[in-house]
Amino acid sequence: MNITERFLKYVSFHTTSDDSTNLTPSTPGQMFFAQYLVEELTAMGLTDITLDKNGYVMATLPANTDKSIPTIGFIAHMDTSPDMSGKNIKPQIIEDYDGNDILLNEEKVIVLETSKYPEITQYKGQDIIVTDGTTLLGADDKAGIAEIVTAMEYLIAHPEIKHGKVRIAFTPDEEIGQGAHHFDVEQFGAEWAYTMDGGEIGELEFENFNAAAAKVTCNGVNVHPGYAKHKMKNSIRIAHQFISMLPRHETPEHTDGYEGFYHLLSMEGSVEKTTLNYIIRDHDRDRFERRKKEMQHLVNKINAEFGENTATVELKDQYYNMREKVEPLMHIVDLAATAMKEVGITPNIKPIRGGTDGSQLSFKGLPCPNIFAGGHNFHARFEYVPVQSMEKATQVIVTIVKNLAN
């Protein structure tokens, strides 16, 4: 099975995560996929294969040399984002891409336009896997899983490549911020690892957002609208006022690089009660803490105007910037960068505008830089991944393992 066939098989599993179930894994499809992976890894000849009750898959590629070599790991996540449907994905392969717009769905007239996504034109002449425009693709992060499994298969088939012990793991629920919650770092037993969860070819990351979730609740008073003067308190209008009080340009659509943001994910409301669900992101820890304080400050201002307990906010930290844990061990980043160069890739070291399992794992004692998986436009109908990028990621994994033994 080549990497394209493997990836297409993986995306046939419906593994959308769901943060409302309070289960791990949060959805049954993730466990079905985990069971399939166990069967595949067993047939391949890996050892120490485990699948725990929470859906975490771990396995070992044993060392084939007596040299003393650090045990390292590679990690990817099985779930896909709840931002868009991951059920009944119908991938299409655009062979020898011509550099023009791609018609994803003729019936619904869904087109991946190069004017909106110009980065796709750099893959002219390559083979690109796209959706039919009605679901996401799942390259985030089934491309990463396919790359890790394919690399292990290659190393087994080429015993002349000497290497130390390699551990691999596939996790549930990364997309809802819970991928590392039940990860047993001691059982995994690696000195460090790499998540294969980055974007376009060449990405190498050891910085990510500090992240929190904020739930703002606005409480109102409903009265017959014909007799509401000085009596009604419309929570929807109060919520709208709260939204307008946040900096309008500190949102995802106006920020990049190291710029943080407030992102209104969803709102649900009536006159009596309106709920706003935000995520807060910033690479800088001090600015991150100030952003959380600003949310509370604005809630206090609402209450000063409309009365005590009109608004409340619940803040919950999700993960932190792994830079402080990885930076003292920059040789592990250098090892990945060198491997990329050896297979003809220019490393693009930049901050992650998001998070990975690696950010939480780094704080649990397993430093985890992030390597590209090759996809673009994650969590959306226009997600795609070039086959050649997945092949290069596989080569990077093999080269890291090989170089560590030299």
pLDDT in the model for residue 318 = 87
> What integer is the mean pLDDT of 210-235?
96
Pair (327, 182) in one structural domain: yes
Q: Is the pLDDT of residue 354 over 90?
A: no
Please identify which of the residues 79, 205, 250, 383 carries the catalytic annotation: 79
Domain count, the chain: 2
Pair (20, 142) in one structural domain: yes
Lowest mean pLDDT among 126-130, 149-153, 178-182: 178-182
Pair (247, 347) in one structural domain: no
- For a pLDDT cut of 90, what percent of the chain falls above it? 96
User: What pLDDT, in 10s, does the model give residues 189-210?
Assistant: 999 999 999 999 999 999 999 9
Q: Which residues of 38-73 are buried (b: 16+ CB within 10 A; e: fewer)?
A: bebbeebebeebebeebbbbbbbbebbeeeebebbb
Pair (131, 194) in one structural domain: yes
Residue range of the domain that includes 57: 3-208+321-404
Examine the residue annotation and report whether 174 is marked as an active-site residue of this protein.
yes
pTM for the full model?
A: 0.89
User: What pLDDT, in 10s, does the model give residues 374-392?
Assistant: 999 999 999 999 999 999 9
Examine the residue annotation and report whether 79 is marked as an active-site residue of this protein.
yes
Of 282, 301, 319, which one is at a domain's C-terminal end?
A: 319
d(CA 136, CA 81): 8
User: What pLDDT, in 10s, does the model give residues 307-341?
Assistant: 999 999 999 998 899 999 999 999 999 999 999 99
pLDDT in the model for residue 356 = 82
Predicted confidence band at 177 (pLDDT cuts at 50, 70, 90)?
A: confident
> What integer is the mean pLDDT of 282-298?
97
Please identify which of the residues 174, 175, 203, 391 carries the catalytic annotation: 174
Pair (115, 228) in one structural domain: no
Pair (19, 69) in one structural domain: yes
Of 319, 354, 377, which one is at a domain's C-terminal end?
A: 319
Pair (195, 327) in one structural domain: yes
Give residue 167's identity as a one-letter amino acid code.
Answer: R
Pair (201, 330) in one structural domain: yes
User: What pLDDT, in 10s, does the model give residues 47-78?
Assistant: 999 999 999 999 999 999 999 999 999 999 99
Q: Are 38 and 57 in contact (CB under 8 A)?
A: yes
Pair (18, 74) in one structural domain: yes
Phi/psi at 248 (5° precision) = -70, -20
Of 279, 302, 319, which one is at a domain's C-terminal end?
A: 319
Q: Is the pLDDT of residue 103 over 90?
A: yes
d(CA 183, CA 180): 5
Give residue 192's identity as a one-letter amino acid code.
Answer: W
> What integer is the mean pLDDT of 339-345?
98
Pair (197, 225) in one structural domain: no
Tell me the CATH number at 390.
3.40.630.10
